[in-house]
C-alpha cells in the first residue's frame, strides 16, 4: 500500500492487488482508493497516474455537486437531506450512465497515461488505448479512429 496526495491535501491509498479488477483492467479508482494490478509492477507509475486522474475527477465533480446542492438547499426552503445522501454517488453514477461523460473522463486519464511513454513508444500505446476504449468501455459510436484522434 502506498499513499499519494492529490491537490496537495487529499490522500489517495494505492493498493497492489487484483481485487475488483475485470480481466482487461490494469487498475481502478474508487475516489480515495486506487487498485493497481499486481503484475503491472513495471508499469505502475503510469497505471497509477491514470487512476489518480480518475480520483482527481471524483473530487472535482463531487466538489461541484456539493456546491450545487448547497445552492439548491439554500433556495429550496425544504429539507434536502435526501439529496445530500446522493452527493458522493453522483460522479460514479454519471460515469456509469452517461457514455459521453465516461468518454471525456477516460480521454483525460489516457492522455496523462500517454505522457509516461517515451516518444518512440507513444504512438503504439495511443493505438492500443484507442482499441481498448472502443472495446471495453461500452461507447457506442466511438470508433478506434475517432478515439485515436481525440487521444492527442
Ligand atoms: Zn480510466
pLDDT in tens, the chain (152 residues): 999 999 999 999 999 999 999 999 999 999 999 999 998 777 789 999 999 999 999 999 999 999 999 999 889 877 778 888 999 999 999 999 999 999 999 999 999 999 999 999 999 999 999 999 999 999 999 999 999 999 98
Helices 99-114 and 119-136: angle between axes, nearest 10 degrees: 160
Q: What is the full DSSP assignment across 23-44?
A: TT-SEEEETTEEEE-GGGGGGH
Could you give the number of structural domains in the chain?
1
Ligand 1 centroid to 77 CA: how many Å?
A: 39
Ligand 1 centroid to 72 CA: how many Å?
A: 31
Is the dihedral angle over the CA atoms 102, 135, 116, 43 positive or is it negative? positive
Does residue 19 form part of some domain? no
Confidence (pLDDT) at 98? 97
Does residue 17 form part of some domain? no
Ligand 1 centroid to 81 CA: how many Å?
A: 31
Say whether 93 sits in a helix, a strand or coil: helix
Does residue 121 form part of some domain? yes
Distance CA 27, CA 91 (A): 18
Ligand 1 centroid to 86 CA: how many Å?
A: 23
Say whether 13 sits in a helix, a strand or coil: strand
Domain of 114 in residue numbering reads as 42-150
Does residue 103 form part of some domain? yes
Does residue 36 form part of some domain? no
pTM attached to this predicted model = 0.92
Confidence (pLDDT) at 82? 84
Does residue 109 form part of some domain? yes
Confidence (pLDDT) at 97? 97
Amino acid at each position: 500500500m502506498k499513499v499519494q496526495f492529490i491537490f496537495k491535501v487529499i490522500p489517495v491509498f494505492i493498493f497492489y492487488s487484483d481485487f475488483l479488477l475485470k480481466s482487461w483492467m490494469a487498475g481502478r479508482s474508487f475516489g480515495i482508493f486506487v487498485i493497481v494490478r499486481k503484475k503491472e509492477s513495471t508499469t505502475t507509475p503510469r497505471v497509477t497516474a491514470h487512476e489518480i486522474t480518475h480520483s482527481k475527477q471524483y473530487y472535482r465533480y463531487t466538489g461541484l455537486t456539493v456546491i450545487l446542492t448547497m445552492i439548491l438547499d439554500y433556495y429550496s426552503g425544504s429539507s434536502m437531506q435526501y439529496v445530500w445522501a446522493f452527493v458522493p454517488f453522483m460522479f460514479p453514477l454519471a460515469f456509469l450512465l452517461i457514455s459521453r461523460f465516461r468518454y471525456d473522463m477516460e480521454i483525460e486519464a489516457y492522455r496523462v497515461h500517454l505522457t509516461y511513454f517515451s516518444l518512440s513508444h507513444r504512438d503504439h500505446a495511443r493505438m492500443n488505448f484507442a482499441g481498448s476504449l472502443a472495446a471495453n468501455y461500452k461507447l457506442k459510436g466511438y470508433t478506434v479512429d475517432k478515439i485515436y484522434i481525440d487521444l492527442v
